[in-house]
Amino acid sequence: MAVSGALLIGFLFLHMIGNLKIYFGASSFDSYAHWLRKIGEPILPYSGFLWIQRVVLLVAIGAHIWAATSLAIAARKARPVAYAHRPKVQGSYAARTMRWGGVIIALFVVYHLLDLTTRHLNPVADTNQAFGAVTADFAPGRWYVTLFYTLAVVMLGFHLRHGVWSAFQTLGWKFPRTVALAVSVLLCAGFLMVPLSVMFGIIK
Amino acid sequence: MKLHLRVWRQASGGVRGEMVAYEVDDVSPDMSFLEMLDVLNERLTLEGEEPIAFDHDCREGICGMCSLVINGTAHGPQKATTTCQLHMRSFNDGDTIDIEPWRARAFPVIKDLVVDRSAFDRIIQAGGFISAPTGSAPDAHATPVPKADADDAFEAATCIGCGACVAACPNGSGMLFTAAKITHLGLLPQGQPERDARVIDMLHAHDEAGFGGCTNTGECTQVCPKGIPLASIARLNRDYRDAVKRA
């Protein structure tokens, strides 16, 4: 859970920094997107590094889901008779929504790939146009897309708020919860800035 | 005070149980929760009914025998307090109170509200001990212990093994109990010889007993009558990591 989560968080940070390149203009953003495909050339083929990264991430996601599922099954087995009177758990909202929140995030990732990677759900089909795809996606007329992204990122923020702290706890380090909160707020802000900037016309 | 109780009644481990409603009149706010049940049981006995079985012993909050889930919270609404030290002044006249046993596969119901907590004994048997020679007490300060370690070890040693952590955990995990023992023994010089084997064997016994895994939700510390901190689970994980590396 902790190790695969750490890999995924590492990716999120790089992804966020890459997204923020959009503030340097269309050509800067598009050439960054093109550069991602050229990493490692000529030893690696075009897009070679991206495919290696995709395989690693897929393995990490698989391990994360496998660990979560086995924990959920163990939990179900450990309490065969449920409580008749069970108030909401007293821990944080973040801790209590880890499992279903994770499912929602996984579904969002599928949508996100169909939208901005394969472009099946994006108005711009040309995969060489990264800037155009982002600005068309979050245009004011498609406010519902921005809303959905916002909800998904906030869900991710909750997931990370408990997840980051819990990962350190699992790996045996005492870790302040405030730092985990700061990490999730930072990632949320970084990811939300781009779609909101497009929607409110700051990026054109 | 007049109270409406709904109590889990189950004649024995093998049979089905159910919540049964009881009315209790003339409850004094100064009664402890268990005294309130004593009053009800006296009446049930006089009426020829089977009294409600529940665990209790010292009634001073230090033995770890009492074990009731009251309105869904292990040991009831008062923080850092065992059921025996909970008083009826924590409730209002006319309240409905649900009383259930600890719910966990590792803690099967024996009768009504009494569960078998010998799974904890098996975890202790697996490594919750030291092999120092017994005999007369050693000289004070013959073995120096840093003050901070002594404080943390003592804090962990206050665990009374009641099992509230398991009852509250959404995963039915006994990790806080196990972590308290690992912290208590692992921080002291006397606990060092078996330190690596202890954490591996106790965790194995924990999983064997049918407890769930820990996901750090923190429900356990919320109900722990002794306030064992969640950081002790991080210490257990660190000890486990180091033990596996050395093994």
How far is Cα B38 from Cα A83, in angstroms, rounded to an integer? 24
Chain B residue numbers with beta carbons less than 8 Å from the beta carbon of A64 are: none
How far is Cα B66 from Cα B87, in angstroms, rounded to an integer? 14
Is A32 within the bounds of a domain?
yes
As given in the structure block, the two tokens for residue A50 are: 């991206």
**B-interface mutation test, from A169, A171, A173, A174, most B Cβ less than 10 A away:** A169
How far is Cα A162 from Cα A145, in angstroms, rounded to an integer? 26
Q: What is the pLDDT of residue A204?
A: 82
What average pLDDT does chain B have?
Answer: 96
Is A121 within the bounds of a domain?
yes
Q: Quick check: B19 and A83 CB within 8 A?
A: no
Strands B73-74 and B18-24, sheet pairing = unpaired
CB A46 within 8 A of CB B71: no
**B-interface mutation test, from A83, A162, A166, A171, most B Cβ less than 10 A away:** A83
Q: Is A34 left (phi over 0), alpha (psi -120 to 50) or beta?
A: alpha
User: CB-based contact (8 Å) between A88 and chain B?
Assistant: no
Q: Is B71 left (phi over 0), alpha (psi -120 to 50) or beta?
A: left
Q: Is the pLDDT of residue B130 over 80?
A: yes
Is A204 within the bounds of a domain?
no
H/E segment holding residue A174: none
Q: Quick check: B212 and A162 CB within 8 A?
A: no
Nearest CA distance, B211 vs chain A (angstrom): 5
**Which chain A residue shows the shortest CA-CA distance from B236?**
A172
How far is Cα B202 from Cα B125, in angstroms, rounded to an integer? 8
**pLDDT tens-digit map of A43-73:** 999 999 999 999 999 999 999 999 999 999 9
**Least confident window among A146-155, B93-102, B125-134:** B125-134
Q: Where are the domains of chain B?
A: 3-110, 117-132+140-246
Nearest CA distance, A99 vs chain B (angstrom): 11
**pLDDT tens-digit map of B30-59:** 999 999 999 999 999 999 999 999 999 999
Segment B81-85 long-range contacts (CB within 8 Å, at least 24 positions apart): B81/B225, B82/B160, B82/B162, B82/B225, B83/B33, B83/B34, B83/B56, B84/B32, B84/B33, B84/B34, B84/B56, B84/B58, B84/B59, B84/B60, B85/B32, B85/B60, B85/B61, B85/B225
Nearest CA distance, B97 vs chain A (angstrom): 10
**Which chain A residue shows the shortest CA-CA distance from B208?**
A78
Nearest CA distance, B153 vs chain A (angstrom): 16
**Which chain B residue shows the shortest CA-CA distance from A1?**
B215
Q: Quick check: A89 and B216 CB within 8 A?
A: no
Class for the domain spanning B117-132+140-246: mainly alpha
Q: For chain A, which residues score pLDDT lower than 70? A: 89-90
User: How many domains are there within chain A?
Assistant: 1
> Which residues form the domain of A102?
2-199
Across the interface, of B19, B71, B219, the residue whose CB is closest to A90 is: B219
Q: Quick check: B72 and A169 CB within 8 A?
A: no
Is A116 within the bounds of a domain?
yes
Q: Calculate mean pLDDT across residues B104-130.
A: 98
Q: Quick check: A172 and B241 CB within 8 A?
A: yes
Q: Quick check: B218 and A96 CB within 8 A?
A: no
**pLDDT tens-digit map of B153-179:** 999 999 999 999 999 999 999 999 999
**pLDDT tens-digit map of B181-236:** 999 999 999 999 999 999 999 999 999 999 999 999 999 999 999 999 999 999 99
How far is Cα B82 from Cα B90, in angstroms, rounded to an integer? 13
**Which chain B residue shows the shortest CA-CA distance from A80?**
B105
CB B66 within 8 A of CB B82: yes
Give whole-number Cα distances, B22 to B19, B38, B39, B223, in Å: 10, 13, 12, 26
How far is Cα A184 from Cα A95, in angstroms, rounded to an integer? 14
Chain B residue numbers with beta carbons less than 8 Å from the beta carbon of A98 are: 215
What average pLDDT does chain A have?
Answer: 94
Q: What is the pLDDT of residue A93?
A: 83
Nearest CA distance, A144 vs chain B (angstrom): 33
Class for the domain spanning B3-110: alpha beta
Q: What is the pLDDT of residue B247?
A: 85
Chain B residue numbers with beta carbons less than 8 Å from the beta carbon of A101 are: none
Burial (CB count within 10 angstroms: exposed 0-12, middle 13-18, buried 19+), residue B174? buried
Q: What is the pLDDT of residue B67?
A: 95
